A and B are shown apart, each in its own frame.
Chain A
Amino acid sequence: MTSKPAETEGYLRLDYDEAAFLIPASQAGKIFLMTDARDLEAPALYCRRRTSYNGGDVPVFELSDFIGDHFHLPREALTDMAFMVPADRFDAARQARCRAALARAGLSDEFIAVAHGRPADMRAAPASEIRPLPRALAARLASRGIRACRFPRDSVIEYVLDITRVIMNHPPFNSE
């Protein structure tokens, strides 16, 4: 008799020592090094740069700044390490708003580069280890892009992020 293999999901894992962040592989595309990141003419809190990708200029979302600001973790210096989030990974309503905002800014509406300053690797996590958040906080945290968590070992927490939600909560991506 063979046992059923455990259901797993792939994540891009960003390691911040005291905490880690899991981005579902379904939302995280190619990891790459930005070689020509430039300042945006109209910078926003977490979107101040653009970079060339796939024949166009794409916006850069500064995930390390967002994490540093909100998770009581050291804020990293700007980094050129990034992963791509294809715009088609946003849900339909958010995708339309996002594409419109990027078009207005003169940027490609196909991808968003997400910059992170920490070691990253792809890994699988058993679905059974991904824990829903307490009901009292689940809706609030989900609205800010925190979907679930996992405790892989003592003294470490991994937050599962909905990176599309994190991005869409901030300008210029949430601009009407």
Chain B
Amino acid sequence: MTQKTDKTPPMAENGADDAPAPTVKCLIVRIADQHYAFHAEHIREVVMDAPLYYVPFTPPYIRGFINRHGRPHTVFDLNALLKNEKLTSGAFLIAGRAFDQTAFMISDVTEILNVTEAEIQPITAMDENDNYYSAALTFQDEHVFILNVQNILMKLSHDLETG
């Protein structure tokens, strides 16, 4: 993790009570050569250099289990899911407890951002991967998708049912 940036949210337009606009905390990560964002509330911890254990009978974007406190966590390779190319990394995000025992393989964590709701943009152009994104934001002049963890888990559920 390189740094934490608390961008000062813009003030209310009329300036009457100078109340800051509500913000959302996002985790910007790099996966291969692209940045993605997670809602920080969906992520519990970042793990570096954890051994990965292969698990059979799963789709290719499931890379195995990692061990967190004695519990197996299913590791999603989002580069394999979104770009059909396997990622090589020992870094993982552990999803919150609401998302089963789930982890995401990442290259690294780039930044933690506070963004205003106005800075979060709905997705307009639709392609086959858009179901895995909930919205987008701009980070260092780059268009960054915010990942939809629930829909990614549903993709696995669907593939296991139909595969």
Residue A137 at the chain B interface, CB threshold 8 Å = yes
Shortest 6 CB-CB contacts between residues of A and residues of B = A134-B101, A70-B56, A157-B53, A151-B67, A134-B74, A72-B54
Write 16 A-B pairs (CB below 8 A) sorted by A numbering: A70-B56, A72-B54, A131-B71, A134-B65, A134-B73, A134-B101, A136-B157, A136-B160, A137-B55, A140-B58, A141-B55, A144-B57, A149-B65, A151-B67, A154-B51, A154-B67
* Interface class of chain A by DSSP: mixed
* Shortest distance between the CB of A15 and any CB in chain B (Å): 15
Given A129-B70, A131-B72, A149-B72, A140:B160 Cβ within 8 A: yes
Question: Taking beta carbons and an 8 Å cutoff, which residues of A are in contact with B?
Answer: 19, 70-72, 129, 131, 133-137, 139-141, 144, 146, 149, 151, 154-155, 157
- Complex CA gap A150/B58 in Å reads 19
Chain B contacts for A144, CB-based, 8 A: 56-57
Given A140-B57, A155-B51, A134:B67 Cβ within 8 A: no
* Interface class of chain B by DSSP: mixed
Given A131-B72, A155-B51, A157-B67, A137:B58 Cβ within 8 A: yes
Interface string of B97-140 (1 = CB under 8 A from A): 00011100000000000000000000000000000000000000
Cβ B55 vs Cβ A136 within 8 A: no
Cβ A134 vs Cβ B58 within 8 A: no
* Shortest distance between the CB of B54 and any CB in chain A (Å): 5
